[in-house]
Amino acid sequence: MAAVEVEDLTVRYGSLTAVDSASFAAEAGLVTAVLGPNGAGKTSTIEVCEGYRSAASGSVRVLGMDPRTDQRRLSERMGVMLQDGGVYPSARVLDTVRHFCTLHARGADPRQLVAQVGLEQRTGATWRRLSGGERQRLSLALALAARPDVAFLDEPTSGVDINGRDAIRGIIRALADRGCAVVLATHELDEAERVADRIVVFDNGQVIANGTLDELRRGSGEIRFRSQAPVDVRALASETGLIAARVGADEYVIDAPPLPRVMATLTGWLAERGHDLTDLRAGAQRLEDVFRRLTADRADARAVAEGTPQLAEPRRRRRRRKSQ
Amino acid sequence: MRRLVAQIRVELLMVLRNGEQLLLTLGIPVLLLVFFSLIDVLPTGTAEPIDFLAPGVLSLAVMSTAMVSLGIGTGFERSYKVLKRLGTTPLGRGRLVAAKAASVVVVEALQFAVIAGTALALGWSPVGAVWAAGVGAVVLGTVAFAGVGLLLAGRLRGEINLAAQNALYLVLLLFGGMVVPIDELPSALQTAARTLPAASLSDILHWSLGTGSLHAASWPVLTAWALVAPTTAARLFRWE
Protein backbone atom coordinates (compact mmCIF):
# COMPACT_ATOMS: atom_id res chain seq x y z
CA MET A 1 0.00 0.00 0.00
CA ALA A 2 1.36 3.43 -0.95
CA ALA A 3 1.83 6.02 1.81
CA VAL A 4 -0.22 8.55 -0.16
CA GLU A 5 -3.00 7.42 -2.46
CA VAL A 6 -4.91 10.00 -4.46
CA GLU A 7 -7.68 8.60 -6.60
CA ASP A 8 -9.91 10.53 -8.94
CA LEU A 9 -9.61 13.65 -6.77
CA THR A 10 -11.62 16.72 -7.67
CA VAL A 11 -11.38 20.01 -5.78
CA ARG A 12 -13.66 22.95 -6.52
CA TYR A 13 -13.76 26.57 -5.37
CA GLY A 14 -17.27 27.65 -6.28
CA SER A 15 -17.58 27.20 -10.02
CA LEU A 16 -13.80 26.85 -10.52
CA THR A 17 -12.45 23.30 -10.73
CA ALA A 18 -8.92 23.49 -9.31
CA VAL A 19 -8.21 19.76 -9.42
CA ASP A 20 -9.95 17.55 -11.97
CA SER A 21 -9.99 13.77 -11.40
CA ALA A 22 -6.34 13.58 -10.36
CA SER A 23 -4.80 10.23 -9.41
CA PHE A 24 -1.29 9.35 -8.24
CA ALA A 25 0.51 7.61 -5.40
CA ALA A 26 3.59 8.33 -3.29
CA GLU A 27 5.56 5.45 -1.80
CA ALA A 28 7.37 5.27 1.52
CA GLY A 29 11.10 5.77 1.14
CA LEU A 30 10.77 7.76 -2.08
CA VAL A 31 10.69 11.44 -2.95
CA THR A 32 7.69 12.21 -5.17
CA ALA A 33 7.85 15.60 -6.84
CA VAL A 34 4.57 17.24 -7.80
CA LEU A 35 5.28 19.67 -10.62
CA GLY A 36 3.12 22.11 -12.48
CA PRO A 37 2.71 25.73 -13.50
CA ASN A 38 1.00 28.23 -11.19
CA GLY A 39 -2.64 27.33 -10.63
CA ALA A 40 -2.13 23.80 -11.91
CA GLY A 41 -3.71 22.29 -8.78
CA LYS A 42 -0.59 21.16 -6.89
CA THR A 43 -1.21 23.06 -3.67
CA SER A 44 -4.94 22.24 -3.60
CA THR A 45 -4.12 18.54 -3.96
CA ILE A 46 -1.52 18.64 -1.22
CA GLU A 47 -3.86 20.58 1.08
CA VAL A 48 -6.44 17.82 0.69
CA CYS A 49 -3.73 15.28 1.57
CA GLU A 50 -2.87 17.32 4.68
CA GLY A 51 -6.52 17.33 5.78
CA TYR A 52 -6.65 21.08 5.41
CA ARG A 53 -9.10 21.15 2.52
CA SER A 54 -12.10 19.03 1.51
CA ALA A 55 -12.41 17.21 -1.77
CA ALA A 56 -15.49 17.68 -3.94
CA SER A 57 -15.16 14.04 -4.95
CA GLY A 58 -12.64 11.23 -5.12
CA SER A 59 -10.63 9.55 -2.45
CA VAL A 60 -7.41 10.39 -0.61
CA ARG A 61 -5.68 8.08 1.88
CA VAL A 62 -2.51 9.06 3.71
CA LEU A 63 -0.80 6.30 5.71
CA GLY A 64 -4.08 4.42 5.29
CA MET A 65 -6.08 7.21 6.93
CA ASP A 66 -8.64 9.68 5.70
CA PRO A 67 -6.87 13.05 6.15
CA ARG A 68 -10.13 14.82 6.96
CA THR A 69 -11.69 12.46 9.51
CA ASP A 70 -8.40 11.11 10.96
CA GLN A 71 -6.59 14.46 10.83
CA ARG A 72 -5.54 14.43 14.50
CA ARG A 73 -4.11 10.89 14.32
CA LEU A 74 -2.49 11.56 10.98
CA SER A 75 -0.90 14.82 12.15
CA GLU A 76 1.14 12.84 14.72
CA ARG A 77 2.95 11.15 11.82
CA MET A 78 2.87 13.93 9.23
CA GLY A 79 5.26 16.79 8.52
CA VAL A 80 4.12 19.87 6.63
CA MET A 81 6.23 22.66 5.21
CA LEU A 82 4.26 25.61 3.89
CA GLN A 83 5.45 27.61 0.92
CA ASP A 84 5.92 30.63 3.18
CA GLY A 85 5.03 31.94 6.63
CA GLY A 86 3.54 29.75 9.33
CA VAL A 87 5.55 31.22 12.19
CA TYR A 88 4.88 34.12 14.59
CA PRO A 89 7.18 36.98 13.40
CA SER A 90 8.36 37.65 16.95
CA ALA A 91 8.99 33.97 17.73
CA ARG A 92 12.58 32.82 18.19
CA VAL A 93 14.10 29.91 16.29
CA LEU A 94 14.71 27.49 19.16
CA ASP A 95 11.45 28.43 20.95
CA THR A 96 9.48 27.74 17.77
CA VAL A 97 11.14 24.40 17.08
CA ARG A 98 10.74 23.38 20.73
CA HIS A 99 7.06 24.33 20.61
CA PHE A 100 6.37 22.22 17.51
CA CYS A 101 8.33 19.28 18.94
CA THR A 102 6.18 19.50 22.10
CA LEU A 103 2.98 19.38 20.03
CA HIS A 104 3.87 15.90 18.73
CA ALA A 105 3.83 12.78 20.90
CA ARG A 106 7.10 11.49 19.45
CA GLY A 107 8.60 14.90 18.72
CA ALA A 108 12.24 15.25 17.74
CA ASP A 109 14.93 16.76 19.95
CA PRO A 110 14.68 20.53 19.28
CA ARG A 111 18.40 21.30 19.52
CA GLN A 112 19.32 18.42 17.24
CA LEU A 113 16.71 19.54 14.76
CA VAL A 114 17.99 23.13 14.76
CA ALA A 115 21.52 21.81 14.17
CA GLN A 116 20.30 19.47 11.43
CA VAL A 117 18.96 22.40 9.40
CA GLY A 118 22.05 24.48 10.11
CA LEU A 119 20.48 27.15 12.34
CA GLU A 120 22.48 26.43 15.52
CA GLN A 121 24.06 29.90 15.30
CA ARG A 122 20.63 31.56 15.04
CA THR A 123 18.71 29.95 17.91
CA GLY A 124 17.84 33.30 19.52
CA ALA A 125 16.92 35.13 16.31
CA THR A 126 13.27 35.97 15.68
CA TRP A 127 11.51 34.92 12.47
CA ARG A 128 11.37 38.50 11.22
CA ARG A 129 15.17 38.78 11.47
CA LEU A 130 15.89 35.61 9.50
CA SER A 131 16.89 35.71 5.84
CA GLY A 132 14.67 34.02 3.25
CA GLY A 133 16.89 30.94 3.23
CA GLU A 134 16.98 30.73 7.03
CA ARG A 135 13.19 30.93 7.13
CA GLN A 136 12.98 28.00 4.72
CA ARG A 137 15.35 26.03 6.94
CA LEU A 138 13.25 26.80 10.00
CA SER A 139 10.08 25.77 8.14
CA LEU A 140 11.76 22.53 7.18
CA ALA A 141 12.73 21.94 10.81
CA LEU A 142 9.08 22.38 11.82
CA ALA A 143 8.07 19.81 9.18
CA LEU A 144 10.53 17.37 10.73
CA ALA A 145 9.39 18.01 14.32
CA ALA A 146 7.00 15.04 14.24
CA ARG A 147 9.66 12.57 13.02
CA PRO A 148 7.22 12.12 10.16
CA ASP A 149 6.33 9.00 8.18
CA VAL A 150 4.96 11.26 5.46
CA ALA A 151 6.13 14.81 4.69
CA PHE A 152 4.54 17.39 2.40
CA LEU A 153 7.09 20.03 1.45
CA ASP A 154 6.01 23.04 -0.57
CA GLU A 155 8.87 24.75 -2.44
CA PRO A 156 11.48 23.83 0.18
CA THR A 157 14.44 25.52 -1.51
CA SER A 158 12.70 28.67 -2.66
CA GLY A 159 14.91 31.68 -1.85
CA VAL A 160 17.75 29.50 -0.56
CA ASP A 161 21.35 29.98 -1.74
CA ILE A 162 23.26 27.21 -3.52
CA ASN A 163 24.95 25.80 -0.42
CA GLY A 164 21.67 25.91 1.46
CA ARG A 165 19.93 24.09 -1.38
CA ASP A 166 22.45 21.30 -1.24
CA ALA A 167 21.95 21.02 2.52
CA ILE A 168 18.16 20.93 2.19
CA ARG A 169 18.35 18.33 -0.60
CA GLY A 170 20.56 16.24 1.66
CA ILE A 171 17.99 16.44 4.47
CA ILE A 172 15.16 15.50 2.09
CA ARG A 173 17.14 12.55 0.74
CA ALA A 174 17.97 11.39 4.27
CA LEU A 175 14.31 11.70 5.24
CA ALA A 176 13.27 9.42 2.38
CA ASP A 177 16.14 7.02 3.04
CA ARG A 178 14.89 6.41 6.55
CA GLY A 179 11.50 5.36 5.12
CA CYS A 180 9.50 8.58 5.02
CA ALA A 181 7.28 9.24 2.00
CA VAL A 182 8.26 12.73 0.85
CA VAL A 183 5.88 14.66 -1.39
CA LEU A 184 7.59 17.72 -2.79
CA ALA A 185 5.61 20.43 -4.56
CA THR A 186 7.86 22.62 -6.62
CA HIS A 187 8.10 24.90 -9.62
CA GLU A 188 11.82 24.29 -9.83
CA LEU A 189 12.37 21.53 -12.33
CA ASP A 190 16.06 21.38 -11.56
CA GLU A 191 15.11 20.67 -7.95
CA ALA A 192 12.85 17.79 -8.94
CA GLU A 193 15.45 16.42 -11.34
CA ARG A 194 18.06 16.32 -8.60
CA VAL A 195 16.09 14.94 -5.69
CA ALA A 196 12.92 13.18 -6.89
CA ASP A 197 12.48 9.46 -7.43
CA ARG A 198 9.09 9.89 -9.05
CA ILE A 199 7.50 12.86 -10.75
CA VAL A 200 3.84 13.79 -11.08
CA VAL A 201 3.10 16.60 -13.54
CA PHE A 202 -0.04 18.69 -13.07
CA ASP A 203 -1.50 20.99 -15.68
CA ASN A 204 -4.82 22.74 -15.55
CA GLY A 205 -5.93 20.63 -12.58
CA GLN A 206 -5.13 17.29 -14.19
CA VAL A 207 -2.26 14.84 -13.84
CA ILE A 208 -0.70 14.76 -17.30
CA ALA A 209 2.35 12.64 -16.54
CA ASN A 210 3.38 10.33 -13.74
CA GLY A 211 6.51 8.22 -13.49
CA THR A 212 10.22 8.14 -12.83
CA LEU A 213 12.47 10.68 -14.48
CA ASP A 214 13.69 8.02 -16.93
CA GLU A 215 10.11 7.07 -17.79
CA LEU A 216 9.19 10.68 -18.49
CA ARG A 217 12.31 11.20 -20.58
CA ARG A 218 11.77 8.01 -22.59
CA GLY A 219 11.56 8.78 -26.29
CA SER A 220 12.57 12.37 -25.68
CA GLY A 221 16.18 12.35 -26.92
CA GLU A 222 17.77 15.33 -28.57
CA ILE A 223 20.97 16.35 -30.30
CA ARG A 224 22.25 19.88 -29.83
CA PHE A 225 25.06 21.43 -31.79
CA ARG A 226 26.63 24.79 -32.46
CA SER A 227 28.12 25.75 -35.78
CA GLN A 228 30.06 28.91 -36.60
CA ALA A 229 28.66 29.00 -40.15
CA PRO A 230 24.86 28.95 -40.70
CA VAL A 231 23.44 25.49 -41.36
CA ASP A 232 20.97 24.94 -44.19
CA VAL A 233 18.35 23.05 -42.17
CA ARG A 234 16.17 22.46 -45.27
CA ALA A 235 19.02 20.70 -47.05
CA LEU A 236 19.79 18.74 -43.89
CA ALA A 237 16.16 17.59 -43.69
CA SER A 238 15.83 16.67 -47.33
CA GLU A 239 19.17 14.86 -47.55
CA THR A 240 19.24 13.08 -44.17
CA GLY A 241 15.69 13.21 -42.82
CA LEU A 242 16.96 15.00 -39.68
CA ILE A 243 14.76 17.97 -38.79
CA ALA A 244 16.76 20.62 -37.01
CA ALA A 245 15.44 23.77 -35.33
CA ARG A 246 17.58 26.84 -34.87
CA VAL A 247 17.26 27.83 -31.19
CA GLY A 248 19.97 30.47 -30.92
CA ALA A 249 22.36 32.55 -33.00
CA ASP A 250 24.48 29.50 -33.80
CA GLU A 251 22.70 26.69 -31.94
CA TYR A 252 20.51 23.95 -33.43
CA VAL A 253 18.42 21.18 -31.88
CA ILE A 254 17.26 17.94 -33.46
CA ASP A 255 14.46 15.98 -31.73
CA ALA A 256 15.88 12.52 -32.26
CA PRO A 257 17.22 9.68 -30.13
CA PRO A 258 20.97 10.04 -29.61
CA LEU A 259 21.85 6.86 -31.53
CA PRO A 260 25.35 6.40 -33.02
CA ARG A 261 23.81 5.97 -36.49
CA VAL A 262 22.01 9.32 -36.24
CA MET A 263 25.12 11.03 -34.87
CA ALA A 264 27.21 9.61 -37.72
CA THR A 265 24.71 10.82 -40.32
CA LEU A 266 24.66 14.31 -38.85
CA THR A 267 28.39 14.72 -38.36
CA GLY A 268 29.06 13.20 -41.80
CA TRP A 269 26.68 15.66 -43.47
CA LEU A 270 28.21 18.60 -41.59
CA ALA A 271 31.75 17.43 -42.43
CA GLU A 272 30.90 17.22 -46.15
CA ARG A 273 29.89 20.88 -46.06
CA GLY A 274 32.91 21.96 -44.02
CA HIS A 275 31.01 23.06 -40.92
CA ASP A 276 33.18 23.51 -37.82
CA LEU A 277 31.28 22.52 -34.70
CA THR A 278 31.90 24.49 -31.52
CA ASP A 279 29.67 22.21 -29.40
CA LEU A 280 27.92 18.88 -29.84
CA ARG A 281 25.75 17.20 -27.21
CA ALA A 282 23.46 14.23 -27.38
CA GLY A 283 21.30 12.66 -24.71
CA ALA A 284 17.94 12.62 -23.01
CA GLN A 285 16.07 15.88 -22.75
CA ARG A 286 16.29 17.79 -19.52
CA LEU A 287 13.20 17.63 -17.33
CA GLU A 288 12.57 21.26 -18.24
CA ASP A 289 12.26 20.32 -21.91
CA VAL A 290 10.05 17.33 -21.10
CA PHE A 291 7.85 19.58 -18.97
CA ARG A 292 7.60 22.23 -21.68
CA ARG A 293 6.70 19.58 -24.24
CA LEU A 294 4.01 18.08 -22.02
CA THR A 295 2.39 21.38 -21.10
CA ALA A 296 2.76 22.83 -24.62
CA ASP A 297 1.04 19.78 -26.12
CA ARG A 298 -1.84 20.29 -23.71
CA ALA A 299 -2.02 24.02 -24.46
CA ASP A 300 -2.22 23.24 -28.16
CA ALA A 301 -4.95 20.68 -27.60
CA ARG A 302 -6.94 23.14 -25.48
CA ALA A 303 -6.52 25.89 -28.06
CA VAL A 304 -7.79 23.65 -30.83
CA ALA A 305 -10.71 22.44 -28.71
CA GLU A 306 -11.67 25.98 -27.74
CA GLY A 307 -11.12 27.41 -31.21
CA THR A 308 -8.58 29.93 -29.94
CA PRO A 309 -5.64 29.52 -32.29
CA GLN A 310 -3.71 32.42 -30.76
CA LEU A 311 -3.01 30.20 -27.74
CA ALA A 312 -1.16 27.81 -30.01
CA GLU A 313 0.89 30.57 -31.61
CA PRO A 314 4.21 29.92 -29.82
CA ARG A 315 4.04 26.26 -30.80
CA ARG A 316 3.30 27.11 -34.41
CA ARG A 317 6.24 29.49 -34.50
CA ARG A 318 8.44 26.71 -33.20
CA ARG A 319 7.23 24.41 -35.93
CA ARG A 320 7.85 27.08 -38.59
CA ARG A 321 11.38 27.52 -37.35
CA LYS A 322 11.91 23.80 -37.65
CA SER A 323 10.92 23.88 -41.27
CA GLN A 324 13.26 26.74 -42.19
CA MET B 1 -2.50 18.77 28.59
CA ARG B 2 1.18 19.16 27.63
CA ARG B 3 0.15 20.59 24.25
CA LEU B 4 -2.39 22.97 25.78
CA VAL B 5 0.16 24.29 28.29
CA ALA B 6 2.73 24.70 25.51
CA GLN B 7 0.27 26.67 23.38
CA ILE B 8 -0.82 28.86 26.34
CA ARG B 9 2.86 29.62 26.99
CA VAL B 10 3.34 30.67 23.37
CA GLU B 11 0.18 32.79 23.34
CA LEU B 12 1.28 34.65 26.50
CA LEU B 13 4.84 35.08 25.21
CA MET B 14 3.52 36.64 22.03
CA VAL B 15 1.40 39.13 24.02
CA LEU B 16 4.22 39.99 26.42
CA ARG B 17 6.75 40.43 23.57
CA ASN B 18 4.41 42.73 21.70
CA GLY B 19 4.89 46.27 22.97
CA GLU B 20 1.82 47.61 21.16
CA GLN B 21 -0.43 45.06 22.80
CA LEU B 22 1.00 45.85 26.24
CA LEU B 23 0.37 49.55 25.61
CA LEU B 24 -3.19 48.76 24.59
CA THR B 25 -4.02 46.37 27.41
CA LEU B 26 -2.21 48.06 30.29
CA GLY B 27 -0.67 51.38 29.29
CA ILE B 28 -3.74 53.19 27.95
CA PRO B 29 -6.21 51.98 30.64
CA VAL B 30 -3.85 52.94 33.49
CA LEU B 31 -3.03 56.28 31.85
CA LEU B 32 -6.74 57.13 31.45
CA LEU B 33 -7.45 56.06 35.03
CA VAL B 34 -4.66 58.12 36.57
CA PHE B 35 -5.02 61.17 34.31
CA PHE B 36 -8.79 61.66 34.59
CA SER B 37 -8.92 60.83 38.29
CA LEU B 38 -6.26 63.44 39.07
CA ILE B 39 -7.57 66.04 36.60
CA ASP B 40 -11.31 66.33 37.14
CA VAL B 41 -12.52 67.40 33.70
CA LEU B 42 -14.98 64.62 32.90
CA PRO B 43 -18.69 64.89 33.79
CA THR B 44 -18.55 61.65 35.81
CA GLY B 45 -21.48 62.52 38.07
CA THR B 46 -19.71 61.12 41.14
CA ALA B 47 -18.11 62.95 44.04
CA GLU B 48 -14.75 61.41 43.22
CA PRO B 49 -13.93 60.76 39.52
CA ILE B 50 -12.16 57.54 40.47
CA ASP B 51 -15.46 55.98 41.61
CA PHE B 52 -16.82 56.30 38.05
CA LEU B 53 -13.53 55.72 36.25
CA ALA B 54 -12.47 52.49 38.00
CA PRO B 55 -15.42 50.34 36.78
CA GLY B 56 -15.29 52.03 33.37
CA VAL B 57 -11.57 51.36 32.93
CA LEU B 58 -12.08 47.74 34.03
CA SER B 59 -14.64 47.46 31.19
CA LEU B 60 -12.07 49.02 28.86
CA ALA B 61 -9.53 46.42 30.00
CA VAL B 62 -11.93 43.61 29.07
CA MET B 63 -12.57 45.17 25.67
CA SER B 64 -8.90 45.84 24.93
CA THR B 65 -7.81 42.29 25.75
CA ALA B 66 -10.77 40.18 24.60
CA MET B 67 -11.55 42.12 21.43
CA VAL B 68 -8.63 44.23 20.23
CA SER B 69 -5.60 42.30 21.46
CA LEU B 70 -7.09 38.89 20.65
CA GLY B 71 -8.53 40.10 17.35
CA ILE B 72 -5.38 41.80 16.09
CA GLY B 73 -3.17 38.92 17.19
CA THR B 74 -5.42 36.31 15.59
CA GLY B 75 -5.78 38.38 12.42
CA PHE B 76 -2.03 38.54 11.95
CA GLU B 77 -1.68 34.84 12.79
CA ARG B 78 -4.13 34.21 9.99
CA SER B 79 -2.20 36.47 7.60
CA TYR B 80 1.13 34.91 8.54
CA LYS B 81 -0.40 31.41 8.08
CA VAL B 82 0.36 30.52 11.69
CA LEU B 83 -3.17 29.16 12.06
CA LYS B 84 -2.80 27.09 8.91
CA ARG B 85 0.52 25.71 10.15
CA LEU B 86 -0.91 24.86 13.59
CA GLY B 87 -3.87 23.24 11.84
CA THR B 88 -1.58 20.51 10.54
CA THR B 89 -0.29 19.59 14.02
CA PRO B 90 -2.01 17.47 16.68
CA LEU B 91 -2.87 20.66 18.62
CA GLY B 92 -6.40 20.80 17.20
CA ARG B 93 -8.85 23.69 17.07
CA GLY B 94 -10.25 22.95 20.53
CA ARG B 95 -6.90 23.30 22.26
CA LEU B 96 -6.02 26.37 20.18
CA VAL B 97 -9.25 28.12 21.21
CA ALA B 98 -8.78 26.98 24.82
CA ALA B 99 -5.21 28.33 24.83
CA LYS B 100 -6.38 31.68 23.48
CA ALA B 101 -9.17 31.82 26.08
CA ALA B 102 -6.72 30.97 28.86
CA SER B 103 -4.28 33.64 27.73
CA VAL B 104 -7.10 36.22 27.68
CA VAL B 105 -8.06 35.22 31.24
CA VAL B 106 -4.45 35.48 32.45
CA VAL B 107 -3.97 38.91 30.84
CA GLU B 108 -7.31 40.13 32.24
CA ALA B 109 -6.32 38.94 35.72
CA LEU B 110 -3.07 40.87 35.39
CA GLN B 111 -4.93 43.95 34.14
CA PHE B 112 -7.47 43.78 36.98
CA ALA B 113 -4.70 43.47 39.57
CA VAL B 114 -2.86 46.50 38.16
CA ILE B 115 -5.95 48.65 37.49
CA ALA B 116 -7.74 47.82 40.75
CA GLY B 117 -4.49 48.33 42.67
CA THR B 118 -3.94 51.71 41.02
CA ALA B 119 -7.58 52.70 41.58
CA LEU B 120 -7.42 51.74 45.27
CA ALA B 121 -4.23 53.76 45.58
CA LEU B 122 -6.08 56.72 44.03
CA GLY B 123 -8.84 56.46 46.63
CA TRP B 124 -11.39 54.12 44.98
CA SER B 125 -13.64 52.43 47.47
CA PRO B 126 -16.08 49.94 45.96
CA VAL B 127 -18.60 50.04 48.81
CA GLY B 128 -21.61 47.74 48.43
CA ALA B 129 -20.14 45.90 45.50
CA VAL B 130 -22.06 42.93 44.07
CA TRP B 131 -18.98 40.90 43.15
CA ALA B 132 -20.81 37.91 41.63
CA ALA B 133 -22.68 40.16 39.20
CA GLY B 134 -19.41 41.91 38.33
CA VAL B 135 -17.65 38.61 37.62
CA GLY B 136 -20.64 37.41 35.57
CA ALA B 137 -20.61 40.60 33.52
CA VAL B 138 -16.84 40.28 32.90
CA VAL B 139 -17.31 36.70 31.70
CA LEU B 140 -20.17 37.67 29.36
CA GLY B 141 -18.28 40.76 28.19
CA THR B 142 -15.16 38.72 27.49
CA VAL B 143 -17.13 36.22 25.40
CA ALA B 144 -18.99 38.98 23.52
CA PHE B 145 -15.88 41.03 22.76
CA ALA B 146 -13.88 37.94 21.81
CA GLY B 147 -16.65 37.10 19.35
CA VAL B 148 -16.51 40.57 17.78
CA GLY B 149 -12.70 40.54 17.68
CA LEU B 150 -12.52 37.09 16.08
CA LEU B 151 -15.29 37.93 13.63
CA LEU B 152 -13.22 40.83 12.27
CA ALA B 153 -9.99 38.81 12.48
CA GLY B 154 -11.53 35.91 10.60
CA ARG B 155 -12.84 37.97 7.71
CA LEU B 156 -10.51 40.94 7.12
CA ARG B 157 -6.93 41.12 5.89
CA GLY B 158 -4.30 41.66 8.59
CA GLU B 159 -3.74 45.39 8.09
CA ILE B 160 -7.42 46.19 7.53
CA ASN B 161 -8.32 44.17 10.60
CA LEU B 162 -5.75 46.15 12.61
CA ALA B 163 -7.28 49.45 11.51
CA ALA B 164 -10.86 48.23 12.06
CA GLN B 165 -10.14 46.91 15.57
CA ASN B 166 -8.44 50.16 16.58
CA ALA B 167 -11.25 52.27 15.13
CA LEU B 168 -13.87 50.18 16.91
CA TYR B 169 -11.86 50.43 20.13
CA LEU B 170 -11.93 54.22 19.91
CA VAL B 171 -15.65 54.39 19.10
CA LEU B 172 -16.60 52.03 21.93
CA LEU B 173 -14.27 53.85 24.34
CA LEU B 174 -16.02 57.14 23.62
CA PHE B 175 -19.59 55.85 23.35
CA GLY B 176 -19.44 52.86 25.70
CA GLY B 177 -19.86 54.69 29.00
CA MET B 178 -16.32 53.86 30.06
CA VAL B 179 -14.85 57.33 30.54
CA VAL B 180 -17.84 59.48 29.56
CA PRO B 181 -21.20 58.58 31.18
CA ILE B 182 -23.80 57.50 28.64
CA ASP B 183 -26.29 59.97 30.16
CA GLU B 184 -24.03 62.79 28.97
CA LEU B 185 -24.42 61.75 25.29
CA PRO B 186 -27.15 63.23 23.04
CA SER B 187 -30.36 61.21 23.42
CA ALA B 188 -30.17 59.60 19.95
CA LEU B 189 -26.63 58.49 20.66
CA GLN B 190 -27.66 57.18 24.08
CA THR B 191 -30.20 54.86 22.46
CA ALA B 192 -27.66 53.59 19.98
CA ALA B 193 -24.95 53.24 22.64
CA ARG B 194 -27.20 51.11 24.84
CA THR B 195 -27.30 48.45 22.12
CA LEU B 196 -23.50 48.06 22.24
CA PRO B 197 -21.70 45.48 24.38
CA ALA B 198 -19.33 48.16 25.72
CA ALA B 199 -22.15 50.24 27.20
CA SER B 200 -23.89 47.20 28.68
CA LEU B 201 -20.70 45.91 30.30
CA SER B 202 -19.68 49.26 31.74
CA ASP B 203 -23.24 49.88 32.98
CA ILE B 204 -23.33 46.54 34.83
CA LEU B 205 -19.83 47.04 36.26
CA HIS B 206 -20.67 50.57 37.42
CA TRP B 207 -23.76 49.21 39.18
CA SER B 208 -22.14 46.07 40.59
CA LEU B 209 -19.12 48.00 41.90
CA GLY B 210 -21.30 50.52 43.71
CA THR B 211 -21.64 53.43 41.26
CA GLY B 212 -24.90 54.23 39.49
CA SER B 213 -28.08 52.33 38.79
CA LEU B 214 -28.60 49.40 36.45
CA HIS B 215 -30.26 50.02 33.09
CA ALA B 216 -32.94 47.44 32.30
CA ALA B 217 -31.48 46.58 28.88
CA SER B 218 -27.90 46.00 29.99
CA TRP B 219 -28.04 42.30 30.94
CA PRO B 220 -30.18 41.24 27.95
CA VAL B 221 -28.04 43.24 25.50
CA LEU B 222 -24.76 41.89 26.87
CA THR B 223 -26.12 38.32 26.92
CA ALA B 224 -27.32 38.66 23.34
CA TRP B 225 -23.89 39.87 22.20
CA ALA B 226 -22.25 37.01 24.10
CA LEU B 227 -24.42 34.54 22.19
CA VAL B 228 -24.56 36.10 18.74
CA ALA B 229 -20.98 37.40 18.28
CA PRO B 230 -19.07 34.13 18.92
CA THR B 231 -21.65 32.09 17.01
CA THR B 232 -21.34 34.39 14.01
CA ALA B 233 -17.54 34.38 14.30
CA ALA B 234 -17.48 30.58 14.39
CA ARG B 235 -19.67 30.43 11.28
CA LEU B 236 -17.83 33.06 9.26
CA PHE B 237 -14.24 32.62 10.45
CA ARG B 238 -11.81 31.88 7.61
CA TRP B 239 -8.65 30.15 8.76
CA GLU B 240 -6.65 31.32 5.77
Beta-carbon contacts below 8 Å between A and B = 66
**Residue B167 confidence class, pLDDT cut points 50, 70, 90:** very high
pLDDT for A302 equals: 60
Q: What pTM was computed for the model?
A: 0.77
B4 chain-A contacts, CB cut-off 8 A: none
Confidence at B19, pLDDT banded by 50, 70, 90: confident
Rounded CA-CA distance B3/A258 in Å is 59
Burial (CB < 10 A; 0-12, 13-18, 19+), residue A176, is buried
Least Cα distance to B238 among B126, B158, B171 occurs for: B158
Q: What is the mean pLDDT of the segment spanning A56-66?
A: 94
Neighboring chain B residues of A108 at a CB cutoff of 8 Å: none
Across A257-268, average pLDDT = 86
In whole angstroms, how large is the CA radius of gyration of chain A?
24
Residues of A in contact with B82 (CB under 8 A): 85-88
The yes-or-no verdict on residue A97 having pLDDT over 50 is yes
What would you report as the CA-atom Rg of chain B, rounded to the nearest whole angstrom?
18
Residue-averaged pLDDT of chain A: 85
Q: What is the per-residue pLDDT across A193-220, written as a single tens digit (0 to 9) for each? A: 889 999 999 988 999 888 888 888 776 6
Chain B residues lying within 8 Å of A103, measured CB to CB? 3, 6-7, 89-91
B residues 2..61 contacting A (CB < 8 A) = 2-3, 6-7, 9-10, 13-14, 17-18
- Return mean pLDDT, chain B: 90
Q: Do A102 and B17 touch (CB under 8 A)?
A: no
Task: Collapse the DSSP code of A235 into the 3-class scheme (helix H, G, I; strand E, B; otherwise coil) and give the result.
Answer: helix
Confidence (pLDDT) at A175? 93
* Chain A residue with Cα closest to B87: A52
